[in-house]
Amino acid sequence: MSDLHEGPLTPVSTPSAPSKLTAREKRWRRRRQRHRFEEILGWIVVPFIIYGIYWGISAGFDFLGTSPGTVWDQLMQVKQMMEKRG
């Protein structure tokens, strides 16, 4: 078992340089990154928007000195009065 009789070594192939991306592939990658960013941003910003709307409505009722239940009851009274008239 001698290594002398195996023959010459074959050259190792070097990996070729990656080919440049085409304009279409670059655009596709940018679009994917933008969609990912928008999705993450949406998961962060939308809860703040919903909380802000809730806080605004709650502050509005507090400022007017009423509550949603009271407003609803008054609307139902107005509806009943309108039904009696018609």
* 11 within some domain: no
* 37 within some domain: yes
Residue ranges making up the domain that contains 52: 23-85
* 8 within some domain: no
* 60 within some domain: yes
Question: Sign of torsion, CA 55 57 60 65?
Answer: negative
State mean pLDDT over 60-78: 94
* 13 within some domain: no
Q: What percent of the chain has pLDDT over 90?
A: 73
Domain count for the chain, please give it. 1
Does the predicted TM-score (pTM) go above 0.95?
no
Exposed (0-12), middle (13-18) or buried (19+): which is 61, by Cβ within 10 Å? middle
Q: What is the pLDDT of residues 15-56, one digit of tens each?
A: 777 788 899 999 999 999 999 999 999 999 999 999 999 999
